[in-house]
Amino acid sequence: MSEGKMQNVLVDYHLAQGMAENMGGNREENQYMLVQAVFRKHHITEAQFDTSLIYYSTHSEVFAKMYKVVNDRIEARANAMGVDAEPQSIYSHLSDQGDTANIWVERPLIALRPTQMDNIYIFSLRADSTFRPGDSFLWHFRSRYVLQGNNREAFAQLVVHYENDSVEGKSQFIRADAETEVRVDPAKNKDSLQIRSLSGYVYLPISTQDPKVFRLLTLTDIALVRFHKVVPPEKTELAGDSLTLDSLEKDTSAISSQPHQRLTPQQMRDAQPRERTINVVKEKAVNPNLRPTRRRNINQPRSNRRRTSP
């Protein structure tokens, strides 16, 4: 089928899958009935649909552009028909800078088929100077199955590698057409270690019961989000009391309870400390050989002495 016709078929196919999820009764029977109605609408057989999917899924660039258009049309038509459609991820609009950044640089679409070499996708990303100890990571994508029957089974894993060759990982099963998130937070004994690299993979097992049954898993709206660790405000210890250094916190310890009074210039001068010099005048030394006179006034005439006869 041409690209345009293939897009039309895929839009109706995924809308039929969504409608079958919301219908009551047996979901597998509802899906089969609605998908067969899609094939009759576009005058194709199931074999033609499978063959075209295999062809386009092996041409990743063409398939990625095709599914971008398919996803946009599915959301628009699903809203008009009253079928729930997943909102676009909030992570896809993030840049690769900042405390919360989208660092995904791989392909925008991943397509997996249950055949050798086509049923696994692996990526690896080396850390750079923007990575910090204590960072957390979240791998987000939207999964869609194109399959015969109801065998929806795949899983994804995200692993963080640290400087001491230790790792921290998380796995997640993919069993529905929905948004999937795989998040790795560092353990307490690893939140101070430097990060060396990230790695992850998506794996679609090969069915051993019926290997001829066609299955396709597509992952779109992919983002790898890095979250920097939140650093609490710095604290310092002073005289046994814990003080928080916060520019918004007011220090009222030095504020007097009395209202402030403005001093006059004379009071301000008087309050300033001054150096005072005391001049000591040393008196003349007194001659110890001189006897003090008993006369009160030296100018007073001598009194007449009483003379007695011999």
pLDDT of residue 268: 67
pLDDT of residue 159: 96
Pick the closest to residue 88 from 221, 225, 226, 223 (CA basis).
Answer: 221
Statement: residue 292 has pLDDT above 70: no
DSSP state of 167: E
Bridge partners of 167, per DSSP, are 161
What is 100-227's CATH number, 1.10.3470, 2.115.10, 2.60.120, 1.20.120?
A: 2.60.120
pLDDT of residue 255: 46
Give the Cβ contact number of residue 279 at 10 Å.
Answer: 4
What's the whole-number mean pLDDT along residues 18-29?
76
Statement: residue 72 has pLDDT above 70: yes
pLDDT tens digits, one per residue of 119-146: 899 999 999 999 999 999 999 998 888 8
Residue 56 pLDDT level (bands cut at 50, 70, 90): confident
Tokens 């398919």 correspond to what residue? 70
What is the pairing mode between strands 215-227 and 100-102? antiparallel
Statement: residue 306 has pLDDT above 70: no
pLDDT of residue 97: 77
pLDDT tens digits, one per residue of 208-218: 666 667 788 88
Contact call for residues 63 and 109 (beta carbons, < 8 A): yes
Ordered by start, the domain boundaries in the chain are 3-81, 100-227
What's the whole-number mean pLDDT along residues 179-205?
92
Give the Cβ contact number of residue 106 at 10 Å.
Answer: 13
pLDDT tens digits, one per residue of 214-261: 788 889 889 999 999 876 666 545 444 544 444 445 555 544 445 556
**Cα atoms in the Cβ-side hemisphere of radius 13 Å centred on 309:** 0
